[in-house]
Structure 1
Amino acid sequence: MAKLEGHFSKCLQSLQTTSPSLLLLASLDATTSQLSQNPSTIFDNPVHLAMEAKHKIKLIPGYTILDFPNIDPLRVTVGVFDLGFSGYEVDDFLFMDQKVVSELPGPRFITLPFCPGTCKEHVDRLILGFKNFISSPNFNLERSHTFSHSINKRVDLEPWIDIKMELAPREAFFAKKKKVSIEDAVGKICGELVCPFPPGIPITTPGEVISERVIQILLQCKDEGVKLVGVSDPLLSSILICDV
């Protein structure tokens, strides 16, 4: 029975979104309804609160605000790379300290949404959470120096064009599979979809030749505590390849 459930899960994974969320779909319906009733001013308050949050976060040492023309005014993206901690760690602290839920944490940034339901209290808790983080016992300047000194040695996450597909995804899905150690996977044909979440974008897909860069990114994700969706080995000591 468990084997059948696993096969069914793999079938769904090859067809559906990596980020299914009934709450998100429900919120879209609710926002559409509100827009129809008050289209001209519904976003005025959250935009104002987002601007206020950006201004106050800029005053806190160690944080950087991603801000440039034409950026989404309902999103506040905060850089944490000068703190010596990842966005995932800051995200966990904000939730534990102030019950703040971000939209998207990452290795170097954390993005927060501002919606029609956002109020002044939410902004105050967010600012307090950021301040509490840098004054918490876990925060220390020595780690910050070490992190900023080594940040240039991290894996290059710029888009790359040397992706090689050896098999069509359908062929890879039905192909015979076997597990190999993560160190021996370079040059092999990937047999499973491996997707760091967030952001929910696959790093490698079935049928793709696994490159050294892909392995480096996956190991970096593992070190940073990123949840890996789709991989058969959660510890990432092995990966599924096509045995062809």
Structure 2
Amino acid sequence: MEAKKTMEQIPGISILNFPNYDEFPAIDPLRLTLGFYDLGLSGYEADDFLFKDQRVISELTGSHSITFPFTPGTCNEHVNRLVLGVKNLSSSSFLRWRKKQGMKHADLKPLNDISMLLNPREAFFAKKKRVSIKDTVGKICGELICPYPPGIPIMIPGELVSEGALNILLQAKALGATLSGASDSGLTSMVICDV
């Protein structure tokens, strides 16, 4: 609770908080989720900064936030390093320069255009070919592509490659996510079903 109160005062940092825990019993009070939306940073960028600055390791990184666990082994020194790292992140001259330049964070929205043309088994056994990433929209995905973190698949075999899904993958890659399952980790190409 002390860490949350301290970090609520840091400019540009938002905290996932529920004032009445009784109404949200599924929320773990020993997890702290920090948002970096107002700083124009992705969670991946903030996670890299905190590790380099204070050797703080997160539990879960997302496009706009990071989650940290407070365990029985967490001591004041760990909390102080986290708070100092977040303060340094907020006040760094790099961020001021970045905001002046008008650079924006990724604006990831939920997908609402998911269409399965083959079931995953049919896609697994279908003939496949590799195509340039710019030629994949409207084709049937032949591989499972899962940005990590957070580790949730964006494309699965048999799914129609939509512009929205492709944009999410490209943004996740640009923000520093690892693309688990992708045959081309650089995402310059994708395996599609040749049907």
Q: TM-score w.r.t. structure 2 length?
A: 0.89
For structure 2, which runs of at least 5 residues remain unmatched after alignment? none
Question: Secondary structure of the equivalent of 2:39?
Answer: coil
Q: Give the secondary-structure state (helix, strand or coil) at the position aligned to 2:157.
A: coil
Q: Give unpaired runs (5+ residues) of structure 1.
A: 1-50
Counterpart of 2:191? Answer: 240
Match of 2:89 among 127, 130, 133: 133
1:63/1:145 CA distance change after superposition, 3 Å: farther
User: How far off is 1:134 after superposition?
Assistant: 2.7
In percent, how many aligned pairs have the same letter?
Answer: 58
Please, which of 11, 14, 29 is the counterpart of residue 64 of structure 1? 14
RMSD: 1.8
- 1:232 touches 1:239 (CA, 8 Å); kept in 2? yes
| Alpha-carbon distance in structure 2 between the residues aligned to 1:92 and 1:175 | 39
Residue among 107, 112, 133 paired with 1:154? 107
The residue identity in structure 1 corresponding to 2:143 is E
* Aligned match of 2:30: 74
User: Which amino acid counterpart does residue 133 of structure 1 have in structure 2?
Assistant: L
Q: Deviations along 1:159-210, whole A, 9 cap, x unmatched?
A: 53x3221112112112111011111111111100000001101001011111
Match of residue 85 from structure 1 = 41
Q: Residues 64 and 143 of structure 1: is their aligned pair in 2 closer, same or farther, counting only changes over 3 Å?
A: same
Question: Partner amino acid for 1:182?
Answer: I
Question: Quick one: distance in 1 between partners of 2:117 and 2:56?
Answer: 44
Instruction: Provide the secondary structure at the position in 2 that maps to 1:196.
Output: strand
- Secondary structure, in 3 states, of the residue corresponding to 2:38? coil
- Code of the aligned partner of 1:189: I
Query: Is contact 1:82–1:144 with CA below 8 Å preserved after alignment?
Result: no
Mapping for residues 101-112 of structure 1, pairs under 5 Å: 101-112=57-68
Q: Is the 8 A contact 1:83 1:144 kept in 2?
A: no
Q: Which residue of 2 aligns with 1:180?
A: 131
Distance 1:98 1:63, change over 3 A: same
SS at match of 1:146: coil
Q: Which amino acid aligns with 1:125?
A: R
Bigger drift between 162-171 and 88-97 goes to 162-171
Aligned letter for 2:136? Answer: A
Cα 1:144–1:175 shift into 2, 3 Å: farther
Q: Which residue of 1 aligns with 2:75?
A: 119
- Which residue of 219, 224, 230 corresponds with 2:170? 219
Aligned mate of 2:5, from 55, 71, 80: 55
Q: Given the two structures, how large is their TM-score scaled by the length of structure 1?
A: 0.72
Larger relative CO (CA 8 A, sep 6+): 1 or 2?
2
The answer to whether 1:169 aligns with 2:120 is: yes
Farther off after superposition, 67-76 or 207-216: 67-76
Extract structure 1 runs of 4+ deviating beyond 3 A.
none
